[in-house]
Amino acid sequence: MQIATVGVIGAGQMGNGIAHVFALSGYDVLLTDVNTDALHKARDLIEKNLARQVTREKITESDKDAALARISTTQTLADLGGTDLVIEAATERETVKTAIFEDLVPHLKPETILTSNTSSISITRLASRTDRPEKFMGFHFMNPVPVMQLVELIRGIATDRETYDALLAVVESLGKTAASAEDFPAFIVNRILMPMINEAVYTLYEGVGSVISIDTAMKLGTNHPMGPLELADFIGLDTCLAIMNVLHDGLADTKYRPCPLLTKYVEAGWLGRKSGRGFYDYRGDTPVPTR
C-alpha cells in the first residue's frame, strides 16, 4: 500500500503540526479547513516552526523550502478525495467528526485509508459511519506534533492487517515511534494522563493546594516537565473535559467523574492558553494563577 499524498482535515493546533511533519518527511500534503483565516495562520505557523528548526540546525534551509512547497490548502473537503491517506484532526466532538466523514466518503478513492486523530472517541464507532471500516484507524499524534515522538495506532474491530502495517510504516517514515492501543475509551496516553489532570483539579477544588503549589509539587516531586494544571491549559480545558466525559460515559466508573471546577472553567470560556485564561491568566507578560 503506497502512500505518497496525505489529506489533513482541520488546520488547528494538531492539524498544522501533522501537515508540518508529513511535508518535512517527503509527503505531498493537502490541508483543509472551513475557515480561510485558519488556513493562512496554519501556513504561517508551519513556516515559523520550520524556521525555528533551521535555527536549531535540526533541518537545512532547503529542507524547509521543500517542505513548504509540498503543502497545499483548500476549503473544499471533496478535494481530499484523491489522496492516499486522510487524517481527520477536527475538533474533539463525535458529531463533527462523523459529519465530516459522511461528506468526504463519496469522493474518496476505493484504496484511500481513512484515519482520525481523535484522542478518546471510539474508532470502531467512527469507522462504522464510513464505507471502509477495514481501512479506518485511529492515528493519534501528540502535541506539539513536530516535537513529540509518539503516535498511538488504534485498530477498530474491523481494521485489517494491511491497513495497520501501512500506517506503522508511515509512522516509521516520519521518524516517530508507534504504540499500539486497543479501541477502548481514551486509549493509552489519555486513559492515564487525563485522570491525573482531573485529580489535580480536584486537589485545587478541595483546597488541598493552590495552582502554584500543585504544579510545583508535581514538577519537582515527580520530575514532570510541566505541572498538571499548566499542562491542562496547554492541551485546552475543553479537550480535557471532553476526554473525561468519554471516559466517564464509556467506562461507567465514578473515578472518571469530571471535577466540577473543570466544568465551571469551560463554561466560563476559560479554556487555557488558546483563550487567554485557564488555571493561569496569559494576558500579561507572565502567566498568573487564577486561583
Residues with a known catalytic role: 119, 140, 152, 190
Q: Cα(161)–Cα(167) distance, rounded to whole angstroms?
A: 10
Q: Is 10 annotated as a binding residue?
A: yes
Q: Is 16 annotated as a binding residue?
A: no
Q: Is 11 annotated as a binding residue?
A: yes
Q: Cα(250)–Cα(289) distance, rounded to whole angstroms?
A: 33
Name the phi and psi angles at 6, rounded to 5: -130, 130
Residue 167 to residues 6, 25, 115, 120, 170: CA-CA distances in angstroms?
12, 14, 10, 19, 5
DSSP bridge pairs for 116: 88, 138
Q: Is 119 annotated as a binding residue?
A: yes
Q: Is 245 annotated as a binding residue?
A: no
Q: Cα(184)–Cα(239) distance, rounded to whole angstroms?
A: 18
- Residue keyed to cell 496554519: 42
Contacts of 238-243 spanning 24+ positions with Cβ under 8 A: 238/92, 238/266, 238/271, 239/92, 239/119, 240/194, 240/197, 240/198, 241/266, 242/92, 242/93, 242/120, 243/92, 243/119, 243/120, 243/186, 243/190, 243/194
Neighbours of 146 (CB within 10 A): 18
Q: Is 92 annotated as a binding residue?
A: yes
Q: Is 135 annotated as a binding residue?
A: no
Q: Is the peptide bond before 144 cis (omega within 30 degrees of 0)?
A: yes
Q: Is 213 annotated as a binding residue?
A: no
**Residues 135/164, Cβ–Cβ less than 8 Å:** no
Q: Is 143 annotated as a binding residue?
A: yes
β strands within 51-158, DSSP E? 71-74, 85-88, 113-116, 136-141, 150-155
Binding positions for NAD(+) are: 10-15, 33, 92, 97, 119, 143, 274
Numbered residues of the known binding site: 10-15, 33, 92, 97, 119, 143, 274
